[in-house]
Amino acid sequence: MNNKIGRREFVLTGAAAGLSATAISTVQAAAPAVHTGASKPVVVSSANGFTMKNGGKLNCVETAFDRMAKGEDVLDALIAGVNIVELDPEDASVGYGGRPNADGVVQLDSCCMHGPKKQAGGVAAIEGVRTPSLVAKAVMEFTDHHLIVGQGATEFARSLGFKIEDDLNTENSRRMWLDWKRRIDPDHYLDPKLRVAAGHEAGLEMVTEGLIGEDEYYGTINCNGVNHKGDVCGVTTTSGLSWKIPGRAGDSPVLGAGLYVDGDYGAAGSTGRGEANLFGLCSFVVVEELRRGKSPLDAGMEALRRIQRNTVEKRLLNSRALPGFNVSFYVINKAGDYAGVAMYSHNDERRFAVCTENGAELAKVEALLEGSAAS
């Protein structure tokens, strides 16, 4: 894993100074057990944090880094970044226009963690709010709770003045749901087991046919950042698994699964099969490995190995007896070192978003296993 740093130390004076257009590669050092002194500011996220701009000039990681560099609180900066993706109707895995559940209703999940404040908040299966990350932050700031779900989360948002909409579907998300519905229920299945199996198979068929991307099928954006003072925060937000059982909550809103932050050591968040990540609370595992002195790359790989060891059901294995799904982690430590890792890279095609003083880029994801999840 090569980190990008500038030719001179980044200095914060209320705004980012000396933005460089080039970068030099350095060998990533192992994260110390305790880091003191200046950190290298960085924001990392899943790839949609680079590709989605909602019609604006800046993407998620650029927005977050720019606000961070101007002295804004790190979590506020990160949430402003993911709001771009949540509001972008072209991203079918997050926020407005996200994949609806099996009943055609968009239900959203999110959580956030503030390293310096040792605070966190989350919402699950919330309806009608385009930016669930902001509601998750409100849970953190205005309640003594970490997670509010379902109708209670929607009413909590309403009580704080969030706009509640009747339907977060776009024309595209509704069209895709109707396509899925026709595939699984042409003759009104009566056997629930057959219906569940048919629904999963229909979703994977749509991925295979190129109608939706694998990343969109599972959804999610995770975004983590650290500023020059070493303040570490993170946020994850998603519409969850495409056409999920209504009320299903994946890993994204759960602390330790879809996101974990320890302000003394670093942060990790995830995209991909949420149930696999939930079973091992793997974002927590990643940060624990950082605490023990591992680099972001090695810490992420350890979590992936744990998922592989825990995947034993035949229905979850491919023809090579390996996990038949993908999971990715985006990891930073307090020093500003970072990594993106995944179970599979799909022929080195997978990327994650990074923004440093040198600007934003799509960086290569390091894979635990060769080949792809499908075979």
State the pairing for strand pair 2-5/119-126. Answer: unpaired
Name the DSSP letter for residue 174. Answer: H
281 and 111 in contact (C-beta within 8 Å)?
no
Looking at every residue in the chain, the average pLDDT score rounds to 86
Sheet bearing 119-126, strands edge to edge: 147-149, 119-126, 108-114, 232-238, 221-226, 42-46, 351-356, 359-364
pLDDT at 177: 87
Residue 358: pLDDT band (50, 70, 90) is very high
pLDDT at 96 over 50: yes
pLDDT at 243: 85
Cα→Cα distances 182→189, 213, 222, Å: 11, 19, 32
Exactly one of 63, 131, 154, 220 is catalytic; which is it? 220
- Rounded percentage of the chain residues whose pLDDT exceeds 70: 81
d(CA 74, CA 113): 10
pLDDT tens, residue by residue, 233-245: 999 999 988 889 8
- HSE toward the beta carbon, residue 49, CA cutoff 13 A: 36
pLDDT tens, residue by residue, 1-54: 444 444 333 333 333 333 333 332 333 333 333 344 579 999 999 999 999 999
Closest-CA residue to 262 (of 297, 289, 280): 289
Q: What is the pTM of this model?
A: 0.83
DSSP codes joined into one string, 298-340? HHHHHHHHHHHHH---GGGB-TTSSBSS-EEEEEEETTS-EEE
Q: For 2-172+210-369, which CATH class?
A: alpha beta
Closest-CA residue to 218 (of 81, 342, 362, 354): 342
Closest-CA residue to 78 (of 256, 299, 253, 234): 234
pLDDT at 38: 79
249 and 279 in contact (C-beta within 8 Å)?
no
Residues in Cβ contact with 72 at an 8 Å cutoff, skipping those fewer than 6 apart: 80
Active site residue 356: no
pLDDT at 230: 97
pLDDT at 216 over 90: no
pLDDT at 197: 61
